[in-house]
Amino acid sequence: KEYFHICFCVCFKDRNFFQQKLRSFFTVYLLLALSFLLIITLFAVSLSRGTVTSLKGLSDFPHSFLFPVFPCGPGSREWEYFDRKCYYFSLRRMSWHKAKAQCEEMHSQLAIIDSHAKQNFVMFRTRNERFWIGLTDENLEGEWEWIDGTDYKTTFTFWKEGEPNNSGSNENCAHLWNFGQWNDVYCTYECYYICEKPVPT
Ligand SMILES: [Ca+2]
Ligand SMILES: [Ca+2]
């Protein structure tokens, strides 16, 4: 009888201990589940707010807010950002002088390709099509000049082999040709053009 009494006490004690443990575990898990639920709710709320506000019209936002996403202006899909400048790749062909005027009308200028990085950027974008750039020797044959005054002699060039050749003694404007390499051609030739402008402030 004594034996059974002891066993009952021990077993009962064990059972109590086990139940207490279970309860504390349950409390911990409950708290964890609740905090998880809270985090999910907060995340969902912030996400839906973000979506709603973004749908209201991006152009309503201050420029500084959208700068990392649309540095060339939230209202424009025509200008592409590269290395602190905005570039426009025309969809129409025209002579070099008309292209120059078109860029100026858009408060920009024909592109100045003064680095390998910039050359790579325009090269991939122009895909072997001919595009005018802001380089000419119209003033004095053989004396190439960038239209913004960038020093031609000390900066990057990317002429196609054998160019500029002033073919027919009448090639005074530069454009991108196959693989983005430069060629001089007569200025009334009609091709696409690249404009560039600083990032709007
Ligand atoms: Ca020439
Ligand atoms: Ca040529």
Read off the pLDDT of residues 32-49 as tens digits, 9 standing for 90 and up.
888 878 777 676 655 555
Q: Does the predicted model carry a pTM greater than 0.75?
A: no
CA of 182 to the centre of ligand 1 (A): 13
Q: How confident is the model at residue 51, as a pLDDT? A: 42
pLDDT of amino acid 119: 98
Which bound ligand lies closest to the C-alpha atom of 144? 1
For residues 101 and 187, the answer to whether their CB atoms sit within 8 Å is no
- What pLDDT, on the 0 to 100 scale, is given for residue 151? 98
Cα-to-centroid distance, 118 and ligand 1 (Å): 24
Residue 19 has pLDDT above 90, yes or no: no
| Span from the CA of 112 to the centroid of ligand 2 (angstroms) | 19
Q: Which ligand is nearest to the CA of 172?
A: 1
The radius of gyration computed from the CA coordinates of the chain, to the nearest angstrom, equals 34
Q: Is the pLDDT of residue 115 over 50?
A: yes
- Strand 131-136 to strand 192-198: parallel, antiparallel, or no bridges (unpaired)? parallel
Give me the DSSP letters along 21-57: HHHHHHHHHHHHHHHHHHHHHHHHHHHHHHHHHHHT-
Structure confidence at residue 47 (pLDDT): 53
pLDDT tier, 25 (very low <50, low <70, confident <90, very high otherwise): confident
pLDDT tens, 55-98?
Answer: 444 445 555 555 567 789 776 789 999 999 999 999 999 999 99
* Separation of CA 134 and ligand 1 centre (Å): 14
